[in-house]
């Protein structure tokens, strides 16, 4: 299936050395330690543990756009290596974290994000409807109610699946911004390999933060029945 292609192919066109580091349902109350916003971000190939340079810039741009709201960040735990099948580890880890957040902090608005191979991790969460290539911990449909926005950068789905996540996922597409930097070959038919390392410089992390903030400020906390979509 298409998600399998994403997990196998990952980001084979661009060397990561270009990138410097840097139970679902309704609950009666929100625990005091729950954040207003929970960002879950998967870094790109070859980046050190954390959310990577693109993730850092995205979160730094987002925080001042949602004043008065607490923002926590979770770095998806996966190798982000050339063994692209291990992207399934990231999808399983991110899914487990999201499901735990939904269960323990039902009014927290979740933001999913990823760069390059990390974007493929997020694609798996949003697109897969059956286990594939080691991704077994699929998100239940009701989890989509708790995800306020999705931001992906340099997403291989555009090249491998023929379209951005906005058109590939009925549940998540309308709340997604899927950004490709010019002729970045990972996410387009172009051949501008350096473009893959310039998402921060091109202002795309700021653009994504503005999109996500607009969704966070226009949506109320989740208090409705599981399975109901929020527009």
CA distance 159 to 2: 11
Catalytic residues: 116, 184, 196
Looking from the CA of 150 toward its CB, the CA atoms found within 13 Å total 32
CA distance 157 to 175: 17
């Amino acid at each position: 299936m298409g998600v399998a292609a994403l997990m196998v192919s990952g980001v084979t066109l661009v060397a990561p050395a270009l990138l410097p580091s840097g139970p679902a349902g309704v609950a009666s109350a929100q625990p005091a330690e729950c954040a207003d916003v929970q960002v879950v971000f998967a870094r790109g190939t070859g980046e050190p543990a954390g959310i990577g340079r693109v993730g850092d810039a995205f979160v730094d741009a987002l925080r001042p756009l949602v004043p008065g709201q607490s923002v926590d960040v979770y770095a998806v735990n996966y190798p982000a290596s050339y063994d692209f099948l291990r992207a399934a580890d990231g999808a399983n880890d991110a899914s487990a974290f999201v499901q735990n957040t939904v269960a323990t902090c039902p009014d927290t608005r979740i933001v999913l994000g990823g760069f390059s191979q990390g974007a493929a991790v997020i694609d798996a969460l949003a697109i897969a409807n059956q286990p594939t290539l080691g991704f077994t911990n699929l998100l239940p449909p009701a989890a989509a109610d708790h995800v306020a926005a999705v931001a992906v950068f340099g997403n291989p789905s555009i090249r491998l699946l023929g379209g951005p996540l906005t058109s590939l996922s009925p549940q998540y597409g309308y709340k997604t911004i899927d950004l490709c930097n010019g002729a970045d070959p990972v996410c387009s038919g172009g051949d501008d390999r350096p473009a893959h390392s310039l998402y921060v410089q091109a202002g795309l992390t700021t653009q994504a933060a503005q999109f996500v903030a607009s969704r966070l400020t226009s949506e109320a906390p989740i208090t409705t029945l599981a399975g109901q979509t929020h527009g």
